[in-house]
Amino acid sequence: MSTSLYDATVGPFRQILGATANVLEKGRAHCEASGIPLDDVVQMRLIDDMAPFQFQIVSTAHHSLGALKGVEAGVFTPPSPAGEDYAGLHNLIEQALEGLDDFTPERVNAFEGKPLEFRLGSNAIPFQGEKFLLGFSLPNFMFHATTAYDMLRIKGAPLGKRDFLNLF
């Protein structure tokens, strides 16, 4: 059995973006019921040298829909600084999930072998589409989604593995 690039990327993107949207909703409800200001969550960090919750959510969207758009354009750059509040971050995840509908199997599978550059400041790192998506963006996507989940757990949100897996 062979797995297409579409199945290996868009499937997990859909699953975890959907989970992240649900986790954000449960986190919001918990914070509101517990008197935890949502602005505190947006700016929270696990440790001082780690990016805040806001960045984790922005990066989850950026390494899914943004990665597909980057491969198509031939260039991927880090996300722009965001000023979204909690509701705006939730909306960003919903938009990324909806944006995946534009990427058909034929469109994504055509990214195999497509050259692209990851540009970070003055550095340009060359990739091929499938290696970028599977070896760079997908791991980053999972990392940032997991980190956001963990941050909400630290705040006491009643979340479990099933919420993250979004299968049941």
- For the stretch 141-165, pLDDT in tens is 999 999 999 999 999 999 999 988 8
Tell me: the pLDDT tens digits for 92-114? 999 999 999 999 999 999 999 99
Residue 1 confidence (pLDDT) above 80: no
What pLDDT, on the 0 to 100 scale, is given for residue 25?
97
Give the DSSP per-residue string, 54-83.
Answer: HHHHHHHHHTTHHHHHHHHHTEE-PPPP--
Tell me: the pLDDT tens digits for 38-89? 999 999 999 999 999 999 999 999 999 999 999 999 999 998 866 789 999 9
What pLDDT, on the 0 to 100 scale, is given for residue 83?
72
Q: What residue ranges do the domains of the chain occupy? A: 5-165
Architecture of domain 5-165: Up-down Bundle (1.20)
